[in-house]
Structure 1
């Protein structure tokens, strides 16, 4: 086990890695502001002109290298997505942690409309596949990795592991309505932002894979019907922009449960260093057990 694996990956550790990576990339590390902590620690630097992503573990390196290749492919296609910055070869690696640097988009909080999201996703799925290979979508691999590392109660871990096993069996039986192809992998309103000129651009490119197109439609549907984060009109705009309403597909409830499990295990990664996250994990698990409303799940 390396030193970086032994050290808790919290905001302070991530910022230390970022500052060292900035030196290697010849970028100004002043004005560091953390945006979020998940599979990556995400920061704004250089007055918000640059966004940096610091990988939580060394095992993120292959996916981050693929993310760089995806960014280069989308740029060559003229697709409206976030662009890499700095002349340094990316990713920059510090103690095994992969670090990338991207153009900042306005203030990072000007979200695209749901219609723009649907249209952009349809356009993305319509691109010719890249010349390099993308991995098949394996949603339950992340669940296993996260639960193995998460600092949570043994009972909670056992419940989530059992739920993952049940859902994996149901997932294998799904019959998808749309053709398979390349996916963004984490397509939601938080990952489609307006730039300074007001043009929508897709960010967070590290989850690209191949698999059922329904996967990329799920989060917007869930954010509407499970969480109330989108209105009925906003969801209708998204479905019309894409040209398909995933909520009408027979496998929707199974895929929704898989997505909910991923939301819980994503947050569980921070339970050991963030008491609020630990409390939220237990609250979410209780609603999974009881079948209760997800409307009080707090955004993270």
Structure 2
């Protein structure tokens, strides 16, 4: 299997650009490499997302539909450049209009009003599906076979099974509905016209608490200051930590976040170090151990 790295993703991008009638992306700048490789094409003002594998094709298609629908609901979101994904050697590639430059880094208080607007929406005229954040755990861990301790993989799979059962038994505080699914300030760009919501691939119909647990975990694990978290909860109007189900959703998200790093481990010592840090803290129940974005 060919590794999904920067050069491979760039080759897939070249194929997709040719099919789309876009210039050769020889000077495209790699912005991020995770579930997708994200490239800024430069000229034209387009950003491309190359999916890690064929299993992401339907998600890419739904993300484009979600962006179109949210734009028509007056929620400020990134706009598709092409209405459907292209497929390059089985990998979905989507193209998006590049936003204007950020006036500053988005803060939690920039995210909160976007979530309030999103959480007030009715369901769209198409199926969103649930936010099964634990579904990819097996795939992420399998991609690191031979590179991580099998005992760590087994530990995370066992946690996944336990939290999947516990989530199904939760009683929400908020009415379920449309959620972003990965509600972090990094998924907001603060332009001269205001904040814009990005990365819509996990928009779902599920517990609204999913969106609020993300920033609570960021406060606990990734160093978001207490005053920033307080500003977020004040602006949104509720602190999810007051909900009895908080520990369950937090634990599920920690399990997914630790497993997500596994797909980066092959050939990447820094990813292996971070993976081991996360697993060790989960084994020890050390809820305050700092994790680092990857």
Structure 2 counterpart of 1:10: 5
| Secondary structure, aligned partner of 1:101 | strand
Structure 1 counterpart of 2:135: 141
Structure 2 residue 201 is matched with structure 1 residue 206: yes
Shift of 1:289: 0.6
Instruction: Determine the C-alpha separation between the residues in 1 that align with 2:168 and 2:138.
Output: 17
Structure 2 residue 121 is matched with structure 1 residue 127: yes
Work out which of the residue numbers 247, 257, 262 in structure 1 matches 2:256.
262
Indicate conservation of the 8 Å contact 1:227/1:294, yes or no: no
Structure 1 counterpart of 2:98: 104
Work out which of the residue numbers 68, 79, 82 in structure 2 matches 1:83.
79
Instruction: Determine the C-alpha separation between the residues in 1 that align with 2:114 and 2:268.
Output: 35
Instruction: Determine the C-alpha separation between the residues in 2 that align with 1:189 and 1:129.
Output: 24
| Alignment TM-score, normalising by the size of structure 1 | 0.91
Structure 2 residue 179 is matched with structure 1 residue 183: yes
Work out which of the residue numbers 57, 60, 68 in structure 2 matches 1:61.
57
Structure 1 counterpart of 2:220: 225
Structure 1 counterpart of 2:168: 172
Instruction: Determine the C-alpha separation between the residues in 2 that align with 1:283 and 1:226.
Output: 12
Structure 2 counterpart of 1:71: 67
CA displacement, residues 163-212 of structure 1 (integer Å, 9 cap, x when unaligned): 112222222222211111111111111101112x2510000011111110
Structure 2 counterpart of 1:3: none
| Secondary structure, aligned partner of 2:63 | helix
Structure 2 counterpart of 1:51: 47
Structure 2 residue 239 is matched with structure 1 residue 238: no
Structure 2 residue 280 is matched with structure 1 residue 286: yes
Give aligned pairs, total. Answer: 291
Which one is further off, 290-299 or 68-77?
Answer: 290-299
| Secondary structure, aligned partner of 1:179 | coil
Unaligned runs of 5+ in 2: none
Shift of 1:79: 1.3
Shift of 1:89: 4.7
CA displacement, residues 239-297 of structure 1 (integer Å, 9 cap, x when unaligned): 12222110111111121111111111111111113221112101111111112254431
Structure 2 counterpart of 1:39: 35
Which one is further off, 137-146 or 179-188?
Answer: 137-146
Unaligned runs of 5+ in 1: 1-5
Instruction: Determine the C-alpha separation between the residues in 2 that align with 1:109 and 1:137.
Output: 31
* 1:291 to 1:16, Cα distance in 2 relative to 1, 3 A: same
* 1:279 to 1:10, Cα distance in 2 relative to 1, 3 A: same
| Secondary structure, aligned partner of 2:215 | helix
Structure 1 counterpart of 2:17: 22
* 1:238 to 1:129, Cα distance in 2 relative to 1, 3 A: same
* 1:295 to 1:109, Cα distance in 2 relative to 1, 3 A: farther
Instruction: Determine the C-alpha separation between the residues in 1 that align with 2:139 and 2:102.
Output: 29
Shift of 1:11: 1.3
Structure 1 counterpart of 2:157: 161
**What RMSD, in angstroms, separates the aligned Cα atoms of the two structures?**
1.8
